[in-house]
Amino acid sequence: MHFTTLASGSSGNAILVGEDNRNLLVDCGISGKSLLHSLSLLNIADLEIEGIVVTHEHVDHIRGVGVLARKLKIPIYATAGLWEVMSPLLGKLEDNQRREVQQSFSCAGLDVLLYPTSHDSRESFGLKVSRPKCKDKRNLAVGIATDSGMITEEMHHHLKGCDAFVVEANYDEHMLKFGSYPEYLKKRIRGQYGHLENKQIAEGLVEWMTENTQRIILVHLSEENNTPEIALSTVMRILRNPNGSRDYLDVPVQVAPRHSPHDLIMLNEV
Ligand SMILES: [Zn+2]
Ligand SMILES: [Zn+2]
Protein backbone atom coordinates (compact mmCIF):
# COMPACT_ATOMS: atom_id res chain seq x y z
CA MET A 1 0.00 0.00 0.00
CA HIS A 2 1.25 3.51 -0.80
CA PHE A 3 0.26 7.15 -0.36
CA THR A 4 1.45 10.66 -0.98
CA THR A 5 0.33 14.27 -1.31
CA LEU A 6 0.03 15.99 -4.69
CA ALA A 7 -0.59 19.54 -3.45
CA SER A 8 -1.06 21.07 -0.01
CA GLY A 9 -2.25 24.36 1.48
CA SER A 10 -4.88 27.01 0.82
CA SER A 11 -3.92 27.11 -2.87
CA GLY A 12 -5.10 23.52 -3.25
CA ASN A 13 -5.03 20.09 -1.65
CA ALA A 14 -4.90 16.57 -3.06
CA ILE A 15 -3.84 13.26 -1.52
CA LEU A 16 -3.29 9.94 -3.28
CA VAL A 17 -3.71 6.52 -1.65
CA GLY A 18 -3.41 3.21 -3.45
CA GLU A 19 -2.08 -0.25 -3.76
CA ASP A 20 -0.16 -1.61 -6.78
CA ASN A 21 -1.59 0.19 -9.80
CA ARG A 22 -4.96 1.09 -8.29
CA ASN A 23 -5.36 4.50 -6.67
CA LEU A 24 -7.92 6.88 -5.29
CA LEU A 25 -7.63 10.61 -4.85
CA VAL A 26 -8.76 12.45 -1.76
CA ASP A 27 -9.84 15.90 -3.00
CA CYS A 28 -8.54 17.74 -6.05
CA GLY A 29 -8.12 21.37 -5.06
CA ILE A 30 -5.73 22.19 -7.89
CA SER A 31 -6.59 22.36 -11.59
CA GLY A 32 -7.14 19.07 -13.42
CA LYS A 33 -4.12 19.90 -15.58
CA SER A 34 -1.79 20.42 -12.58
CA LEU A 35 -3.06 17.23 -10.99
CA LEU A 36 -2.31 15.21 -14.14
CA HIS A 37 1.14 16.78 -14.30
CA SER A 38 1.80 15.77 -10.68
CA LEU A 39 0.71 12.20 -11.43
CA SER A 40 3.09 12.04 -14.40
CA LEU A 41 5.96 13.16 -12.13
CA LEU A 42 5.16 10.14 -9.94
CA ASN A 43 4.90 7.84 -12.98
CA ILE A 44 1.25 7.14 -12.26
CA ALA A 45 -0.83 6.70 -15.40
CA ASP A 46 -4.26 8.35 -15.71
CA LEU A 47 -5.83 4.91 -15.97
CA GLU A 48 -4.57 4.01 -12.50
CA ILE A 49 -6.86 6.57 -10.82
CA GLU A 50 -10.22 4.97 -10.05
CA GLY A 51 -12.10 7.70 -8.18
CA ILE A 52 -12.06 10.95 -6.20
CA VAL A 53 -13.35 11.23 -2.64
CA VAL A 54 -14.34 14.73 -1.51
CA THR A 55 -13.81 15.78 2.12
CA HIS A 56 -15.73 19.08 1.89
CA GLU A 57 -16.84 21.71 -0.60
CA HIS A 58 -14.22 24.44 -0.03
CA VAL A 59 -12.54 25.47 -3.26
CA ASP A 60 -9.06 24.44 -2.10
CA HIS A 61 -10.44 20.87 -2.07
CA ILE A 62 -12.71 20.75 -5.13
CA ARG A 63 -11.26 23.20 -7.70
CA GLY A 64 -10.29 20.48 -10.20
CA VAL A 65 -12.70 17.71 -9.19
CA GLY A 66 -15.24 18.16 -12.02
CA VAL A 67 -12.67 18.61 -14.78
CA LEU A 68 -10.59 15.67 -13.63
CA ALA A 69 -13.57 13.34 -13.26
CA ARG A 70 -14.69 14.19 -16.80
CA LYS A 71 -11.22 13.82 -18.24
CA LEU A 72 -10.50 10.47 -16.56
CA LYS A 73 -14.14 9.27 -16.70
CA ILE A 74 -14.04 8.34 -13.02
CA PRO A 75 -16.63 8.57 -10.25
CA ILE A 76 -16.72 11.17 -7.47
CA TYR A 77 -17.60 9.94 -3.97
CA ALA A 78 -19.28 12.37 -1.53
CA THR A 79 -22.07 12.49 1.02
CA ALA A 80 -25.59 13.68 0.10
CA GLY A 81 -25.03 16.98 1.94
CA LEU A 82 -21.85 17.68 0.02
CA TRP A 83 -23.46 16.78 -3.31
CA GLU A 84 -26.16 19.34 -2.60
CA VAL A 85 -23.68 22.20 -2.31
CA MET A 86 -21.06 20.87 -4.73
CA SER A 87 -23.21 19.94 -7.73
CA PRO A 88 -23.52 23.48 -9.15
CA LEU A 89 -19.75 23.94 -8.79
CA LEU A 90 -18.58 20.80 -10.55
CA GLY A 91 -20.16 21.17 -14.00
CA LYS A 92 -21.74 18.42 -16.06
CA LEU A 93 -21.27 14.84 -14.88
CA GLU A 94 -22.63 11.51 -16.02
CA ASP A 95 -25.08 9.88 -13.62
CA ASN A 96 -22.66 7.06 -12.85
CA GLN A 97 -20.00 9.57 -11.81
CA ARG A 98 -22.12 10.80 -8.90
CA ARG A 99 -21.62 8.35 -6.08
CA GLU A 100 -23.54 9.31 -2.99
CA VAL A 101 -21.90 7.61 -0.03
CA GLN A 102 -22.48 7.37 3.68
CA GLN A 103 -19.90 6.39 6.23
CA SER A 104 -18.03 3.71 4.33
CA PHE A 105 -17.51 2.45 0.82
CA SER A 106 -14.85 0.82 -1.38
CA CYS A 107 -12.82 2.39 -4.17
CA ALA A 108 -9.70 1.14 -5.98
CA GLY A 109 -9.84 -2.05 -3.93
CA LEU A 110 -9.49 -0.11 -0.66
CA ASP A 111 -11.95 0.41 2.17
CA VAL A 112 -12.72 4.07 2.82
CA LEU A 113 -14.25 5.25 6.07
CA LEU A 114 -15.45 8.84 6.49
CA TYR A 115 -15.69 10.42 9.94
CA PRO A 116 -16.91 13.96 10.70
CA THR A 117 -14.47 16.79 11.37
CA SER A 118 -15.30 20.21 12.83
CA HIS A 119 -15.12 22.84 10.08
CA ASP A 120 -17.08 25.76 8.67
CA SER A 121 -18.38 23.99 5.57
CA ARG A 122 -21.70 22.31 4.88
CA GLU A 123 -20.24 18.98 6.01
CA SER A 124 -16.62 17.94 6.40
CA PHE A 125 -14.87 14.62 6.82
CA GLY A 126 -11.58 13.01 7.61
CA LEU A 127 -10.80 9.53 6.34
CA LYS A 128 -9.32 6.22 7.19
CA VAL A 129 -8.28 4.32 4.07
CA SER A 130 -7.47 0.67 4.67
CA ARG A 131 -6.48 -2.37 2.75
CA PRO A 132 -9.16 -4.99 3.22
CA LYS A 133 -8.12 -7.86 5.46
CA CYS A 134 -6.54 -10.75 3.62
CA LYS A 135 -4.92 -13.77 5.14
CA ASP A 136 -1.24 -13.46 4.30
CA LYS A 137 -0.93 -9.66 4.37
CA ARG A 138 -1.04 -7.27 7.28
CA ASN A 139 -3.98 -4.93 7.52
CA LEU A 140 -2.64 -1.43 6.72
CA ALA A 141 -4.39 1.92 7.11
CA VAL A 142 -3.67 5.55 6.32
CA GLY A 143 -5.39 8.09 8.60
CA ILE A 144 -6.23 11.49 7.10
CA ALA A 145 -7.30 14.55 9.11
CA THR A 146 -7.41 18.05 7.62
CA ASP A 147 -9.62 21.11 7.96
CA SER A 148 -10.83 20.74 11.52
CA GLY A 149 -10.98 23.28 14.32
CA MET A 150 -10.43 20.59 16.89
CA ILE A 151 -9.54 16.97 17.44
CA THR A 152 -12.94 15.30 17.42
CA GLU A 153 -13.96 12.17 19.29
CA GLU A 154 -14.41 10.41 15.95
CA MET A 155 -10.91 11.40 14.90
CA HIS A 156 -9.53 9.84 18.07
CA HIS A 157 -11.57 6.74 17.55
CA HIS A 158 -10.69 6.09 13.91
CA LEU A 159 -7.10 7.30 13.68
CA LYS A 160 -5.73 5.44 16.66
CA GLY A 161 -3.37 2.74 15.46
CA CYS A 162 -3.16 3.77 11.79
CA ASP A 163 0.10 2.87 10.05
CA ALA A 164 0.57 6.33 8.52
CA PHE A 165 -0.93 9.77 9.01
CA VAL A 166 -1.60 12.68 6.67
CA VAL A 167 -2.65 15.42 9.04
CA GLU A 168 -3.16 19.16 9.11
CA ALA A 169 -0.63 21.41 10.85
CA ASN A 170 -2.25 24.65 9.72
CA TYR A 171 -0.86 27.35 11.98
CA ASP A 172 1.48 28.27 14.77
CA GLU A 173 -0.43 30.06 17.53
CA HIS A 174 2.32 32.65 18.06
CA MET A 175 2.57 33.49 14.34
CA LEU A 176 -1.19 33.76 14.04
CA LYS A 177 -1.44 35.98 17.11
CA PHE A 178 1.21 38.44 15.92
CA GLY A 179 0.52 38.04 12.17
CA SER A 180 -1.19 40.40 9.75
CA TYR A 181 -4.57 38.67 9.50
CA PRO A 182 -7.60 40.72 10.61
CA GLU A 183 -9.02 39.75 14.01
CA TYR A 184 -12.17 38.10 12.59
CA LEU A 185 -10.06 35.80 10.43
CA LYS A 186 -7.74 34.91 13.33
CA LYS A 187 -10.84 34.05 15.31
CA ARG A 188 -12.17 31.87 12.50
CA ILE A 189 -8.90 29.97 12.10
CA ARG A 190 -8.42 29.20 15.79
CA GLY A 191 -12.14 28.64 16.38
CA GLN A 192 -13.91 25.34 16.86
CA TYR A 193 -14.72 25.20 13.11
CA GLY A 194 -11.38 26.44 11.79
CA HIS A 195 -8.06 24.67 11.46
CA LEU A 196 -5.64 22.63 13.54
CA GLU A 197 -2.66 24.27 15.24
CA ASN A 198 0.78 22.59 15.26
CA LYS A 199 0.63 21.62 18.95
CA GLN A 200 -2.97 20.45 18.69
CA ILE A 201 -2.19 17.95 15.94
CA ALA A 202 1.00 16.80 17.65
CA GLU A 203 -0.98 16.02 20.79
CA GLY A 204 -3.44 14.05 18.67
CA LEU A 205 -0.62 12.11 17.02
CA VAL A 206 0.82 11.15 20.42
CA GLU A 207 -2.53 9.51 21.20
CA TRP A 208 -2.86 7.74 17.86
CA MET A 209 0.67 6.49 17.26
CA THR A 210 1.59 2.92 18.12
CA GLU A 211 4.57 0.73 17.42
CA ASN A 212 3.02 0.21 13.96
CA THR A 213 3.32 3.87 12.94
CA GLN A 214 5.55 4.18 9.89
CA ARG A 215 5.21 7.69 8.46
CA ILE A 216 3.65 11.10 9.06
CA ILE A 217 3.08 13.89 6.52
CA LEU A 218 2.00 17.32 7.75
CA VAL A 219 -0.30 19.10 5.32
CA HIS A 220 -2.35 22.27 4.77
CA LEU A 221 0.24 24.60 6.33
CA SER A 222 -0.75 28.26 6.26
CA GLU A 223 1.59 30.42 4.18
CA GLU A 224 1.08 33.37 6.56
CA ASN A 225 0.84 31.75 9.95
CA ASN A 226 3.25 28.81 9.81
CA THR A 227 6.49 27.65 8.26
CA PRO A 228 7.60 24.09 7.48
CA GLU A 229 10.47 24.48 10.00
CA ILE A 230 8.21 25.65 12.84
CA ALA A 231 5.57 22.99 12.12
CA LEU A 232 8.19 20.22 12.06
CA SER A 233 10.07 21.36 15.15
CA THR A 234 6.86 21.82 17.16
CA VAL A 235 5.50 18.41 16.20
CA MET A 236 8.84 16.64 16.72
CA ARG A 237 9.32 18.24 20.14
CA ILE A 238 5.96 16.91 21.31
CA LEU A 239 6.38 13.46 19.73
CA ARG A 240 9.74 13.07 21.42
CA ASN A 241 8.35 13.97 24.82
CA PRO A 242 5.03 12.22 25.03
CA ASN A 243 5.11 12.35 28.85
CA GLY A 244 5.40 8.63 29.04
CA SER A 245 7.53 5.71 28.19
CA ARG A 246 6.79 5.63 24.47
CA ASP A 247 9.31 7.21 22.18
CA TYR A 248 8.54 8.03 18.55
CA LEU A 249 12.00 9.28 17.67
CA ASP A 250 12.45 7.12 14.61
CA VAL A 251 9.14 7.74 12.82
CA PRO A 252 9.87 10.03 9.85
CA VAL A 253 7.78 13.22 9.83
CA GLN A 254 7.71 15.36 6.70
CA VAL A 255 5.95 18.46 5.44
CA ALA A 256 4.03 18.18 2.16
CA PRO A 257 5.31 20.48 -0.60
CA ARG A 258 2.77 23.19 -1.43
CA HIS A 259 2.80 23.03 -5.25
CA SER A 260 4.38 19.70 -6.14
CA PRO A 261 3.95 16.05 -5.18
CA HIS A 262 5.74 14.50 -2.22
CA ASP A 263 7.61 11.30 -3.08
CA LEU A 264 5.42 8.24 -3.14
CA ILE A 265 5.62 6.52 0.25
CA MET A 266 5.42 2.73 0.29
CA LEU A 267 4.17 1.25 3.54
CA ASN A 268 6.06 -1.70 4.92
CA GLU A 269 4.10 -4.87 4.51
CA VAL A 270 5.45 -6.60 7.61
ZN1 LIG B 1 -11.84 23.93 4.38
ZN1 LIG C 1 -8.73 23.44 3.16
61 alpha carbon – ligand 1 mean position (Å) = 7
**137 pLDDT tier (thresholds 50, 70, 90):** confident
245 alpha carbon – ligand 2 mean position (Å) = 35
> pLDDT digit string (tens) for 141-184?
999 999 999 999 999 999 999 999 999 999 999 999 999 999 99
**132 pLDDT tier (thresholds 50, 70, 90):** confident
133 alpha carbon – ligand 2 mean position (Å) = 31
> pLDDT digit string (tens) for 41-61?
999 999 999 999 999 999 999
78 alpha carbon – ligand 2 mean position (Å) = 16
59 alpha carbon – ligand 2 mean position (Å) = 8
111 alpha carbon – ligand 2 mean position (Å) = 23
Task: Give me the percent of the chain exceeding a pLDDT of 70.
Answer: 96
Residue 157 has a CB neighbour count (10 Å cut-off) of 11
